């Protein structure tokens, strides 16, 4: 039951973050909207219960987990790239 609530909350935050990213392109750039969207994706990562062994046979949950994790992994990769660039000065050494 708790995993279902966490999954619903993660999916809701993911949809809100996706809408805010869409809103950035439609309405123009706004720093508050960008930070809120990034915050939604980060909270989604920590709220998502991840793959569960109880849901065997339901591949839709695995697909949703991959889709939900994709923005957080992209944000984390970008931050690592910036950190390495500032530290070493060469972003090609990933």
Instruction: Give the domain ranges of the chain.
Output: 2-88
pTM: 0.79
pLDDT at 88 over 90: no
- Write out pLDDT tens, residues 47-76: 988 776 565 667 888 888 889 999 999 999
User: Encoding tokens for residue 62?
Assistant: 């695995």
Rounded to a whole number of angstroms, the distance between the first and last alpha carbons of the chain is 41
> What number of helices (H) and strands (E) belong to the chain?
3, 0
Q: Which residues, 6+ apart, have CB-to-CB distance to 91 below 8 Å?
A: 81, 84, 85
Q: Residue 89 gets which letter from DSSP?
A: S
State the pLDDT at residue 55: 56
pLDDT at 23 over 90: yes
pLDDT at 77 over 70: yes
Q: Could you tell me which of 16, 3, 9 has the C-alpha nearest to residue 71? A: 16
The answer to whether the beta carbons of residues 34 and 24 sit under 8 Å apart is yes
Mean pLDDT of the chain: 86
């Amino acid at each position: 039951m708790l995993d279902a609530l966490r999954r619903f909350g993660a999916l809701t935050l993911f949809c809100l973050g996706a809408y805010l990213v869409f809103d950035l392109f439609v309405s123009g750039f706004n720093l508050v909207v960008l930070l809120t969207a990034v915050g939604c994706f980060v909270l989604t990562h920590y709220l998502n219960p991840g793959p569960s062994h109880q849901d065997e046979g339901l591949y839709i949950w695995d697909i949703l987990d991959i889709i939900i994790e994709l923005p957080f992994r992209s944000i984390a990769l970008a931050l690592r790239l910036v950190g390495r660039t500032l530290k070493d000065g060469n972003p090609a050494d990933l």
